[in-house]
Amino acid sequence: MSTTAEETNDKSTREVVAEAGRRRTFAVISHPDAGKSTLTEALALHAAAITSAGAVHGKGERRGVTSDWMEMEQARGISITSAALRIDYADRVLNLLDTPGHADFSEDTYRVLSAVDCAVMLLDSAKGLEAQTLKLFDVCRARRMPVITFVNKWDRPGREPLELLDEVEQRIGLRPTPLNWPVGIAGDFRGLLERDGTTYTRFTRTPGGATRAIEETLTPEEAAGAEGDAWTQAVEELELLGEIGADFDPASFMAGESSPVLFGAALPNFGVSQLLRALVDLAPAPTGPVDARGAERPIGAPFSGQVFKMQANMDKAHRDRMAFVRVSTGRFERGMVLTHAATGRPFATKYTQAVFGSERTTIETAYPGDVIALVNAAALKVGDTLYAGPKVEFPPIPSFAPEHFAVARALDAGRYKQFQRGIAQLDAEGVVQVLTSDVRGEQAPVLAAVGPLQFDVVSHRMAEEFRAPIELAHLDYTLARRTDAASAPTAHSLSGAEVLTRRSDGELLVLVHNKWRLRVIQRDHPELVLEPLLAGGVE
C-alpha cells in the first residue's frame, strides 16, 4: 500500500512535535566570574557529553568557539563567537547558548536571550545579584521567561541562604522556590537536602579527571547523626520555607514570576546533576512562536527560523557572513531552499553548520529549539525570518539600552561614500546602533553600543571591508532614555544631555552623562518623558 502525501505530512509533523518536545534551549545569565564556564563544563561532564573536565573550559586556552576571524580576537585572547553547546541527557537535547560576558559583552549577549526558552540565573554565593546579571535578568523579565536560579560556590565562604533568597525577592521581585537546601553554611558545605526532606546527598569533591561526580546519599537518620547541628538548622529552615509557601509553582515559574532555586558548587561538580534534572523536568520545550501579526505558528508547521546573531569575516579569505538562526518551527534539512521574509528572495542552505563548542560541524537536520549557522549569509540581518511553505515573519528583536557612545568620522574625506555605506550596513546588521541629529550632521553619526567591543568590530570592518577607516571620539554619556517629540527640545537644551534619533527605528533617545545627572533632570523637569530602555533599568 502506498502512503499518501497527507500521511507523510502527518508523520513528519508528529516527528517535529516529538523532537521539539525533547529540546530544552537555555542560556546562563551571570556576572563575570560567577562560574558560568565552570558550570557549563560541569553540565556537559555530567551529561557525559565530554569525557573529562577541561574539554570545554580552560582559562589559558578558552575554547568557547575558536575562530580566527580577527587579529583582535587573537590579540585579546577572547572568543567573540557565541556558541551553542548541545548536551544529550535523559532522552532530552539541551541546547545551551552562550551569553558572551567579560570584554565581549555586547548587544549580542542580550539578543541570545531572544533565542532561548529558559534562563539559568547563576549567582555567586558570596556576591548575590551583580550588575551584569541584573541587566540580563531585565531582558528575561521583559520576555516573561522562566528562570531557574543556581547559587554557586557553596564550597566557599558566602552568605546565608535565606538572605540570598531575600535579596532575589526584594530586588528583582522574583519569588524563590528552593528545590533543595544546603546543609552547612557556605564554606562549610556538608551536602544538599531535597525539599521533600527525605533525600540527602553528602558533599564530596570529585577527584580531578573523574567523569562523574561521586554522590553519596544518606537517609535522614544517618544524616542527622553525621551532620549534627548543621542538619538540625537545615531541617528548621526547610520547615520555615514550607510555612511561607516557598514551594515550586509551575504556573508562576512559566510566567517568570517565581524561580526554582538550587544550591551547589560547579567547580567540584556538586549539585550539578540536580540542575540538569531541573532543566529536563521543569524547563519548557519550545512552543509555537507568535508571528509579527500576533498569530501563533504551530511548532509542527513547515520550517521557520529567526536570525539572532550575525558574524562577519570569520574567514578572511572569503569575507563571509554567518547568520545564527534559531529554528522556530518545523524540520530543517540542509540543502533546503528557504525564503528570506524581508526580501522575498530565495536563500539556499547548502552550507549549514551546527556550532557546538569549539567544533563547527555540518548538520543535516535540526528541529525547533536548535541553532544552525548559515554561511554566506550577507543578505541577512539580525531579526530576519527565513521560512519554507506559507509566508511567516517574526517580530523584530528589540534594540537594547546602549551605554557607550562615540562619534564616528571618516579619516579620509574622499571616501565619504564608502563611509556612509559601511555605517548603514553595520547599522542594518545590528553591529551597533547609529544615532543622528541635525546638529551633528550626517558626517558625524553617533555610534551607540552595549559593550565597547562593538566599536572595535565597527572600526575593524570599516577599515578592512569598506575601505573607509574611521576615527572614533568617545562621548561622555553613559545612559540613554526614550523621549517623545514634545519633550525633545527641552531635553536637548539641558546641559549634560542631548537628543538624537536612532536610525533603525526612529526612536528619540536622550543621552545623559550619568544617573545623577538624570536624577537632577527628572527633578527639575518632571514633565519630560524619559523612559528606560530594555536592560537599561538597572543602573
Residue closer to ligand G4P, measured from CB, 126 or 254: 126
Distance separating the N- and C-terminal Cα atoms of the chain: 67
Beta carbons within 10 angstroms of residue 250's beta carbon: 12
Q: Among 15, 33, 393, 539, which residue sits at the site for ligand G4P (rule: CB under 6 A)?
A: 33
For the window 156-195, what string marks contact with ligand G4P as x by the rule CB under 6 A? x---------------------------------------
Strand 147-152 and strand 258-263: the pairing is parallel
Residue closer to ligand G4P, measured from CB, 120 or 246: 120
Residue closer to ligand G4P, measured from CB, 136 or 265: 265
Q: How far apart are CA 433 and CA 418, in angstroms?
A: 18
Q: Shortest gap between Cβ of 178 and ligand G4P (angstroms)?
A: 18
Q: How far apart are CA 31 and CA 105, in angstroms?
A: 10
Q: How far apart are CA 214 and CA 203, in angstroms?
A: 9
With DSSP H G I counted as helix, E B as strand and the rest as coil, what are the percentages for the chain, rounded to 5? 30, 25, 45
Q: Among 123, 266, 480, 535, which residue sits at the site for ligand G4P (rule: CB under 6 A)?
A: 266
Q: Among 265, 283, 327, 528, which residue sits at the site for ligand G4P (rule: CB under 6 A)?
A: 265
With H, G, I as helix, E, B as strand and everything else as coil, classify residue 435: strand
Q: How far apart are CA 209 and CA 188, in angstroms?
A: 24
With CB under 6 A as the rule, give the number of residues binding ligand G4P: 16
C-alpha cell at 36: 558560568
Q: Which stretch binds ligand G4P (CB under 6 A): 236-244, 261-269, 298-306, 423-431?
A: 261-269
Q: Shortest gap between Cβ of 156 and ligand G4P (angstroms)?
A: 4
Q: Among 23, 24, 36, 321, which residue sits at the site for ligand G4P (rule: CB under 6 A)?
A: 36
Cα→Cα distances 200→70, 114, 203, 222, 239, Å: 49, 37, 10, 9, 16
With H, G, I as helix, E, B as strand and everything else as coil, classify residue 306: strand
Q: Among 98, 104, 155, 507, which residue sits at the site for ligand G4P (rule: CB under 6 A)?
A: 155
Q: Which residue has the cell 547559587?
A: 151
- Whether the Cβ atoms of residue 206 and residue 212 lie closer than 8 Å to each other: yes
Q: How far apart are CA 36 and CA 26, in angstroms?
A: 13
Q: Among 35, 128, 184, 305, which residue sits at the site for ligand G4P (rule: CB under 6 A)?
A: 35
The answer to the question of residue 130 lying near ligand G4P (CB under 6 A) is: no
The answer to the question of residue 30 lying near ligand G4P (CB under 6 A) is: yes
Which of the 8 DSSP states describes residue 436?
E
The reply, when asked if residue 99 is annotated as ligand binding, is: yes
Q: Shortest gap between Cβ of 125 and ligand G4P (angstroms)?
A: 8
Q: Which stretch binds ligand G4P (CB under 6 A): 25-33, 247-255, 433-441, 456-464?
A: 25-33
Q: By the criterion CB under 6 A, which residues form the site for ligand G4P?
A: 30, 32-38, 59, 152-153, 155-156, 265-267
Binding site residues, as ranges? 98-102
Q: Which amino acids are annotated as binding site for GTP, given as ranges?
A: 98-102
